[in-house]
């Protein structure tokens, strides 16, 4: 009988100590963890990954991360993530511009390859005076995101570390909009409260976090799209599981209100009984009055 | 003349599908935001690749056409049955691609979520369904051989293009 929750493979392939330093990851432990949650196919995928003395090859794992995120970017492009995010952020940026002069910062937490930040920069979607910053704990992804930004001469930057550690990426919370896409389902309900509290503590003017709305349509859609579009077995596995792990609106709102009580919060989706096609990926938004 | 019209229709569908397959094979490889130029190159590669892969099927047709027992009627019936399956599918895909190209982001999203993604998923099934319909309608061994070779060619383009031009992916670190 399964006693532990299902996890995405990519949640298990990197180990870091409390200082963020990379630690070796034992393949046998990852396989055992996946088997414990009944994820036999995922366990087989990991069992085939190269390892030395049972330690997963960090180079292979980093290359895999980039491959998986390149595929994810393809999906994000197709599902209009850049334009979707820009449409919501534009009026928020304008509001902050009208409140006071000076730059506004958009901070993408868990940015991965930084597609969203690079896309906003490429389209100049938010106008002048907006600093676009991506932050991720995975240094391989951050390095690649930074390289891609240089290749395409995009006005944005990427930082390796914890986005909410003071000084890492937020200088002035009142001028900062914190965003993410596809991050929330990686957090359990306790971690969600901590996540929102961190943004509250930084005084973020706005947060907007997009994630999959769990319903039969999103699960079927994730399965179809990942079969049709993804090549990596890890992508296919994690993509479908992410739809199944996603949080409904109620616990998201409860966590946001517990962690960031000063923010006015809402999940921007239609009624559960009639989910719109656009609502399959929807944001939880919080604004300071 | 009917057999020629049907053949032209199938070749156009096959070439169009090949260029889309080549395009798909290139996506999600580099991480670049602006990949319009590489998209065009990828579509051209797919077009060229499907043209080459269809040579065995065309050769069978050519040999059959040179024989005294050229099964023109069977080819026409088979091709018509295949087009009956492929044309509605292709028309919807082209409509969605057109919508994706020109409409605003919400409608682009819908075109992709409702048609392009699911239709890509269903494409191998549609290809095989058309082939089966063609083989049953043609009821001729030579025609069936042609259909099998052509269907195999069309379904091979995307994975082969991936292997030829996009793998191993130039990844870092």
Q: How many inter-chain contacts (A to B, CB under 8 Å) are there?
A: 88
A220 touches chain B (CB under 8 A): no
Write out residues 20-79 of A within 8 Å (CB-CB) of B.
59, 62-63, 66-67, 69-75, 78-79
% of chain A surpassing 70 pLDDT = 97
State the angle between helix axes of A58-78 and A216-229 in degrees (0 to 180), rounded to the nearest 10: 110
Cβ within 8 Å, pair B34-A122: yes
**A168 pLDDT tier (thresholds 50, 70, 90):** confident
| Phi and psi torsions of B52, nearest 5° | -70, -45
A71 vs B28, B108, B120: nearest CB = B28
How many domains, chain A?
2
**Token pair belonging to B93:** 């895909």
A73 vs B28, B34, B114: nearest CB = B28
pLDDT for residue A194: 97
Cβ within 8 Å, pair A73-B31: yes
**Chain B partners within 8 Å of A280 (Cβ):** 113
pLDDT for residue A215: 87
**Token pair belonging to A117:** 């930040």
A3 domain-assigned: no
Residue owning tokens 């991360």: A65
Mean pLDDT confidence for A158-181: 92
| Phi and psi torsions of B33, nearest 5° | -75, -45
**Token pair belonging to A131:** 């600093």
Cβ within 8 Å, pair A115-B120: no
Residue by residue, pLDDT tens for chain B (173 residues) are: 789 999 999 999 999 999 999 999 999 999 999 999 999 999 999 999 999 999 999 999 999 999 888 899 999 999 999 999 999 999 999 999 999 999 999 889 889 999 999 999 999 999 999 999 999 999 999 999 999 999 999 999 999 999 999 986 544 43
pLDDT for residue A3: 60
**Chain A partners within 8 Å of B30 (Cβ):** 70
Q: Which of B21, B33, B104 is the best substitution to test chain A (most A C-beta atoms within 10 A)?
A: B33
**Chain A partners within 8 Å of B102 (Cβ):** none
CA angle, A110 as apex, A104 and A113 as ends, to 5°? 95
Cβ within 8 Å, pair B33-A227: no
pLDDT for residue A273: 57
pLDDT for residue A167: 82
| Residue A270 vs residue B166, higher pLDDT | B166
pLDDT for residue A205: 97
- Domain check: are A43 and A151 in the same one? no
Q: How far is CA A211 from the centre of its chain?
A: 8
d(C-alpha A165, C-alpha A26), whole Å: 28
- Domain check: are A21 and A86 in the same one? no
Residue A50 domain boundaries = 9-56
- Domain check: are A93 and A157 in the same one? yes
- Domain check: are A45 and A136 in the same one? no
Q: Which of B25, B26, B31 is the best substitution to test chain A (most A C-beta atoms within 10 A)?
A: B31
Each residue's pLDDT tens digit, A73-93: 999 999 899 999 999 999 999
- Domain check: are A72 and A51 in the same one? no
A62 domain-assigned: no
A4 domain-assigned: no
pLDDT for residue B86: 98
pLDDT for residue A7: 94
ipTM of the complex as predicted = 0.88
Mean pLDDT confidence for A68-76: 94
Cβ within 8 Å, pair A277-B109: yes
Residue-wise DSSP of A271-288: -TTS--GGGGEEEEEEE-
**A275 pLDDT tier (thresholds 50, 70, 90):** low
Every domain of chain B and the residues it spans: 2-166
A170 domain-assigned: yes
Each residue's pLDDT tens digit, A193-217: 999 999 999 999 999 999 999 988 8
- Domain check: are A21 and A130 in the same one? no
- Taking all residues of chain A, what is their mean pLDDT, rounded to a whole number? 93
CATH number at residue A82: 3.40.50.150
- Domain check: are A179 and A45 in the same one? no
Query: Shortest Cα distance from B146 to chain A (angstroms)?
Result: 27
Cβ within 8 Å, pair A140-B121: no
A63 domain-assigned: no
Mean pLDDT confidence for A246-266: 96
Cβ within 8 Å, pair A144-B110: no
Each residue's pLDDT tens digit, A9-51: 999 999 888 777 889 999 999 999 999 999 999 999 999 999 9
List C-alpha distances in Å: A39 to A5, A8, A245.
10, 10, 14
Q: With beta carbons less than 8 A apart as the criterion, state whether A163 and A170 touch.
A: yes
Cβ within 8 Å, pair A74-B31: no
pLDDT for residue B173: 38
């Amino acid at each position: 009988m399964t006693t532990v929750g299902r996890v995405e493979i990519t949640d298990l392939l990197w180990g870091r100590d409390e200082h963020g330093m990379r630690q070796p990851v034992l393949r046998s432990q990852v396989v055992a963890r996946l088997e414990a949650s009944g994820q036999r196919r995922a366990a087989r995928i990991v069992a085939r990954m190269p390892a030395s003395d049972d330690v997963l090859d960090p180079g292979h794992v980093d290359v895999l991360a980039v491959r998986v995120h390149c595929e994810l970017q393809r999906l994000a492009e197709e599902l209009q993530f850049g334009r979707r995010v820009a449409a919501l952020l534009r009026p928020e940026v304008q509001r902050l511009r009208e409140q006071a002069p000076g730059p506004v910062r958009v901070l993408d937490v868990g940015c991965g390859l930084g597609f969203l930040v690079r896309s906003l920069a490429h389209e100049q979607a938010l106008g002048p005076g907006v600093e676009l910053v991506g932050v991720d704990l995975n240094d391989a992804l951050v390095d690649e995101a930074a390289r891609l930004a240089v290749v395409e001469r995009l006005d944005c930057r990427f930082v390796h570390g914890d986005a909410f550690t003071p000084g890492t990426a937020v200088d002035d919370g009142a001028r900062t909009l914190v965003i993410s896409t596809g991050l929330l389902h990686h957090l359990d309900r306790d971690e969600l409260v901590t996540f929102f509290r961190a943004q509250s503590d930084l005084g973020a003017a706005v947060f907007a976090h997009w994630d999959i709305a769990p319903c039969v349509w999103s699960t079927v859609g994730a399965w179809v799209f990942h079969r049709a579009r993804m090549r990596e077995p890890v992508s296919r596995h994690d993509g479908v599981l992410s739809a199944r792990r996603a949080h409904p609106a109620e616990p998201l709102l409860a966590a946001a209100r517990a962690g960031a009580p000063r923010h006015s919060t809402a999940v921007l989706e239609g009624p559960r009984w009639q989910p719109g096609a656009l609502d399959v990926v929807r944001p939880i938004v919080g604004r300071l009055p | 003349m009917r057999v020629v019209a049907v053949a032209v229709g199938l070749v156009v569908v096959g070439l169009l599908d090949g260029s889309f397959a080549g395009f798909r094979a290139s996506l999600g490889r580099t991480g670049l935001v602006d990949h319009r130029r590489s998209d065009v190159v990828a579509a051209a590669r797919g077009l060229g690749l499907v043209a080459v892969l269809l040579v065995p099927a065309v050769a069978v047709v050519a040999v059959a056409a040179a024989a005294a027992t050229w099964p023109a009627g069977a080819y026409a019936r088979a091709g018509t049955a295949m087009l009956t399956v492929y044309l509605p599918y292709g028309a919807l895909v082209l409509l969605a691609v057109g919508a994706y190209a020109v409409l605003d982001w919400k409608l682009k999203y819908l075109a992709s979520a409702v048609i392009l993604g699911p239709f890509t998923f269903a494409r191998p099934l549609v290809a095989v369904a058309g082939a089966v319909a063609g083989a049953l309608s043609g009821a001729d061994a030579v025609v069936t051989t042609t259909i099998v070779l052509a269907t195999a060619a069309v379904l091979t383009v995307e994975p082969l293009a991936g292997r030829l031009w996009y793998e191993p992916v130039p990844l870092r670190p």
